[in-house]
Amino acid sequence: MKIDAYSYKAFRECIWGDKLIKLINLMLRSAECGLDNYSETEPDVVLLEPKADFYASGHPQSQDVFLIVEVADSRIKFDGEIKVALYGENNVVEVWLVDINEQCLEVYRQPICSIYQEVQKLKRREFLSVQRFSDINIQVDEILG
């Protein structure tokens, strides 16, 4: 499944406004993400390395992933303990866990031996950036709405 131009534009305007303009050449999609031969997850949002065939030849692998975003309310424990650990085991470089109930965003970076070495919990009025695009700052409020 590839995201069409309208969906991309709508997502860009709803989430990060013009801050994502610099990422226009990237493909952003919500789809299955094959991590290893035994596990497959369905992240809420995945920011991927662009490919000419839009991943028609196969699911993205961990080396294709710039960022995974999980949005959780009732499944926060599962997403935070199980899915984040699975992403770490598969060397996904960056994961954001949006906690709707606590109105915060947890950032996981630098997986080593399946454990993220850098973990941050950000609240409203704080800023962050995608590690791969550190020149673009996003306020947590823009994500939480």
Mean pLDDT, each 10-residue run in order, the chain (145 residues): 41 42 33 46 83 84 89 84 88 94 95 92 96 91 89
- Residue 130 to residue 27: CA distance in whole angstroms: 14
Residues in Cβ contact with 113 at an 8 Å cutoff, skipping those fewer than 6 apart: none
Listed by start position, the domains of the chain span 5-144
Q: What pLDDT score does 140 carry?
A: 94
5-144: CATH architecture: Alpha-Beta Complex (3.90)
